[in-house]
Amino acid sequence: MAEAVRIRDALDPLLIEDALWHASPADIAELREILADMASAVRRLDPTAFVRANWSLHARIAAVSPHAVLRSLYVNLLDQIESHTLAVLPGSERPLPEYITSRNALHVAIVDALEQRDHDKALSLIAQHNTSNVLPASLIPAGTSVTRS
């Protein structure tokens, strides 16, 4: 699982660059709908729904890419990660509300940067996404040792 997450993280900047160039207003609207699902999960303190919405958001960003191989590879990695994550269980190291609230805000900022076509900000945010998503005890997936949102 760690290898799949590492490769997914390495592909994120490529997909963000594609989305910066190719995302239509309809694509951004769909991303915002998924963000609404993530925000709802945050309000309900439902980490499983949050992670699933998160994966959906990443898959939707990938769908914007005109590169079939990149899209396919990325979505297959997401599917592999999801298939090995049976549940997301609360822990005690970092408070769950704090973690999912901060992750949600980061994803909102990424979509905002995509909509604004702000290349530097979008790439900076995805770098932050991939370096700040060390899994706290509050999101330990059953059946696997790693998951990231």
Give pLDDT tens digits for 129-141.
987 555 444 444 4
CB atoms within 10 A of CB 83: 11
CB atoms within 10 A of CB 10: 11
Tell me: the pLDDT tens digits for 27-55? 999 999 999 999 999 999 998 899 999 99
Measured in degrees and rounded to the nearest 5, phi and psi for residue 142 equal: -75, 140
> Taking a C-beta distance cutoff of 8 angstroms, is the pair 27, 77 a contact?
no
CATH 1.20.120.530 corresponds to the domain 2-142 = yes
Tell me the whole-structure pTM to 2 decimals.
Answer: 0.84
- Is a pLDDT exceeding 60 seen at residue 24? yes
- Is a pLDDT exceeding 60 seen at residue 143? no
